[in-house]
Structure 1
Amino acid sequence: MTSRPKCVLVGLAAREAFAASPALTYAIALARHHGACLTVCVLPPAFYVPVTRTGGSASAILRSEIERLEETTRQTARSAAELVGKAGVSCIAEHTLSPLEPRTDRLVRLARVNDVAILDAAEAGNDLQKTAIEDVLFDSGRPVLIVPPVGGNAIPRRLAIAWDGSARSARSVADAMPFLQDAETAFVVTVTDEKDLSRMAPGADLATHLLQHGVGEPRLETLAAINGDAAARLRKFVKDESIEMLVMGAFVHSRFRQAILGGVTRSLLDDVPVPLFMAH
């Protein structure tokens, strides 16, 4: 995303009692700031086949449950579109019509034709949201912004790049360039003692690249991992420096979709400290 975002996607989980999630609030502010069109994609609730002992028709009960979930999904889409419209932002609202369809397929396809996808961080035990984040992150080919429950500043002034010199890190920096160019302060942070960085592209070289792209005076930081825990060191830096967005590549240990996420990636996704701008 080398230019300003003009097509923004936000994924929402359907709920019977609608309330703007942190991701929706963030997406509205980002789209309004850049004059972007906001697409809202509503994911259906979890579907469980009901079990009855009353002698009722199983097919009738199943049909009733599907209709209830579809109505919840439609209503969430309508309510979200109304909220976006009131904010003066152009909006397209979509939802999966049947909970029997693969839950994230439409979201992933939409992410491929948008500049950035914005999703709420997954709370503990919310495996459906974790799956949605991973599907978009690893299957869309586009960057993902993950917003913590406390929300965040959609126009961040203090950013940090978690830089390990990898192709994933380079891709995340390129995609996050509009945010970096607007920032007042940008840090290039390298955490040592967690993995071999001997072949990495140096942070100083990245700083030169950022300067050439109009990012003012990037600040280099080399930090030691806390007892080998790079994620813990990044969290401490984010807190100490009042960072408003963390830019990083998403690491996975295997080419297979069932692969185990890298330790830093999984740790930060499990406990999102500030909005995470991630690419793979």
Structure 2
Amino acid sequence: RAQAAAEAFDRALTEAGVVIDPRIVCREDAECDAPLLDVARLSDLILIQQPEPGNARPSDAHLEEVLLQSGRPCLIVPYTGTAQVPFRNVTVAWDGSRSAARTLGDALPFLRTAARVEVVEVATGFVPDGAARGARLIAHLEAHGVAACHRTLVSSLPFAQAILSHMADEGSDLLVMGAYGHSRLREALLGGASRDMLGCMTVPVLMAH
């Protein structure tokens, strides 16, 4: 199965005119976390398929480890449908956290080529300093060659539902958001918002931690 995936990837690279040497890091019946992280930490971008609900694969178990421990940006693509690149209409979910800031920096190459970039803060009510904070963020992006707009999205829905519904209305084709985690028994675990997004995402999502 790993060999078949590598061969399919190699064919896609050939069709796209990309020269790279695909290799199998580990197989599904082997311990993969350590070798995967060794490769991931020396990569510019990690591509991961969203786990398919009701059809779990052994490789799905490594998703959280790579997201939280690689230190590299991860582009998760939906298990169904196709993604068109370059991304033209990008939504950035912003909450001022370390993870959000890290992902924003990693996303700059995508943001610079987009036709539209919207920064969205999801809130349950009025945010007193939302406009000022948004203006500072927009100025920061402009300094990096990105023209963007800012919006505070007031919603009582859970974060994932609120942002995905808004993106559907706006026709967004990429979501940029931080991968939030917490520790339990010395293990890094994905936070609820990130886990929810991975479960119901309908467009590619760029995450970093």
Q: Secondary structure at the match of 2:183?
A: coil
The one-letter amino acid paired with 1:273 is T
Q: What is the CA distance between 1:97 and its match in structure 2?
A: 5.6
2:108 counterpart (151, 171, 177): 177
Is the 1:163–1:203 Cα contact (8 Å) retained in structure 2? no
Aligned counterpart, 1:236: 165
Aligned counterpart, 2:75: 145
Change (3 A) 1:178 1:255: farther
Is the 1:164–1:197 Cα contact (8 Å) retained in structure 2? no
Structure 2 runs not aligned, ≥5 long: none
Q: Secondary structure at the match of 1:202?
A: helix
The sequence identity of aligned pairs, in percent, is 35
Instruction: Please list the CA deviations of residues 139-197 of structure 1 after superposition, one character each: whole Å capped at 9, or x if unmatched.
Output: 11000000012121220111011000001000000000011111111111001129x99
Q: Secondary structure at the match of 2:122?
A: strand
State yes or no: 1:279 paired with 2:208. yes
Aligned counterpart, 2:48: 119
Aligned counterpart, 1:223: 153
Is the 2:64–2:189 Cα contact (8 Å) retained in structure 1? no
Aligned counterpart, 1:209: 140
The one-letter amino acid paired with 2:194 is T
Structure 1 runs not aligned, ≥5 long: 1-13, 15-72
Moved over 4 A (4+): 97-100, 196-199
Q: What is the CA distance between 1:272 and its match in structure 2?
A: 1.4
Is the 1:192–1:225 Cα contact (8 Å) retained in structure 2? yes
* Larger relative contact order (CA 8 Å, sep ≥ 6): 2
The one-letter amino acid paired with 1:193 is T
Instruction: Please list the CA deviations of residues 67-100 of structure 1 after superposition, one character each: whole Å capped at 9, or x if unmatched.
Output: xxxxxx3343234323422432102111146655
Q: Secondary structure at the match of 1:268?
A: helix
1:37-48 map, 5 Å: none
Aligned counterpart, 2:58: 128
Change (3 A) 1:115 1:234: same
TM-score (norm 2): 0.87
**1:141 and 1:171 mapped to 2: Cα distance?**
10
Aligned counterpart, 1:87: 16
Change (3 A) 1:204 1:275: same
Give the paired residue count: 205
